[in-house]
Amino acid sequence: MFRIAVAALLGAISLSACAKQPQTGAATSPGTAAPVAEGAVDKKVREALRQLDPNFKPDYVGAAPFAGFREVVVSGQVLYVSDDGRYLMQSQPYDIEKRALATSEGLLAYRRKLLDTVPHADRIVFAPPNAKYTVSVFTDVECGYCRKLHQDIAELNRNGIAVEYLAFPRMGLGSKDYTDMISVWCAADRKAALTQAKSGKAVPGKNCTNPVAMQYSLGQQLGVNGTPAIFAADGSQLGGYLPPAQLKAALERIPGAAGNR
């Protein structure tokens, strides 16, 4: 439903139909507009989106990492709306200097808050004795690149990287993938069960009170639409599968990323 709404939004050339236009003869010159309070800009952006579609309710609105736009999150998808409520962009810009997706501190804090809702006990953790970095990885047991990343666990640990798995059955709730992941999370030895499942071996069916559906929902809130999805401790999304050396290099480029979550 959300993707249909977004498609409808992006079908519009701009949000100009719902943004108030300047009065004729206004004295403001291009590039010299008077600064507007941040709260007022957020309100204008929300109102523009509501007028375009009453069901379009952002989960987060904050300053974009570049001037003139607000960063908006709806069901995990990052959008950008101009401060005047006129233009909407779907693609997340790439920061050439940082060699990463352009992300604001506000968005990172929003993601950290969501990730922090998952207790350590509900994660399946593969960590070295003194981890320098910690990544949260949304995974399932069937995807090829999830299995490839899991084969790298020993090398990642040798590089000081702790991997904390969260469940994301990409085939959806009620799928075989979903029930297999419940069996993994309900196993007496979850690490062994996950390794077994990722090697293509059957895991004995089990059921219990488990966090699989909650973690899947959380992944959707964070915009996960494929696995593996790797998040650094600061909330940066590092993409999908990365070889150990590349993942370590990506973490080293994040200021203050060293240290446990």
The pair of structure tokens assigned to 171 is 């085939």
How far is the C-alpha of 140 from the C-alpha of 224, rounded, in Å? 12
Q: Greater confidence, 14 or 225?
A: 225
Q: Provide the mean pLDDT of the chain.
A: 84
Choice between 236 and 11, residue whose per-residue pLDDT is larger = 236
Q: Could you check whether 2-17+37-105 and 121-252 share the same CATH topology? A: no
Q: What DSSP element (H or E) covers 22?
A: none
Do 141 and 197 contact (CB within 8 A), yes or no?
A: yes
Written as six digits, the tokens of 203 are 């895991």
Q: How confident is residue 32, by pLDDT bands cut at 50, 70 and 90?
A: very low
CATH of domain 2-17+37-105: 3.10.450.70
CB-based contact 163:195 (threshold 8 Å): no
- pLDDT, residue 35, reads 41
Q: Which has more pLDDT, 124 or 27?
A: 124
Give me the pLDDT at residue 2, please.
43
Rounded (5°) CA angle 169-72-120: 40
pLDDT at 117 over 60: yes
Domain boundaries of the chain, sorted by first residue: 2-17+37-105, 121-252
Q: Report residue 137's pLDDT band, with 50, 70 and 90 as the boundaries.
A: very high
CA distance 80 to 32: 22
Share of the chain above pLDDT 90, in %: 62
Residue with the bigger pLDDT between 236 and 20: it is: 236
pTM above 0.75, yes or no: yes
Task: Kindly tell me the sign of the dihedral angle through the C-alpha atoms of 84, 85, 89, 92.
Answer: positive
Confidence at 256, pLDDT banded by 50, 70, 90: low
Can you name the CATH fold of 121-252?
Glutaredoxin (3.40.30)
pLDDT in tens, 159-196: 999 999 999 999 999 899 999 999 999 999 999 999 99
Residues that are catalytic: 140, 143, 146, 170
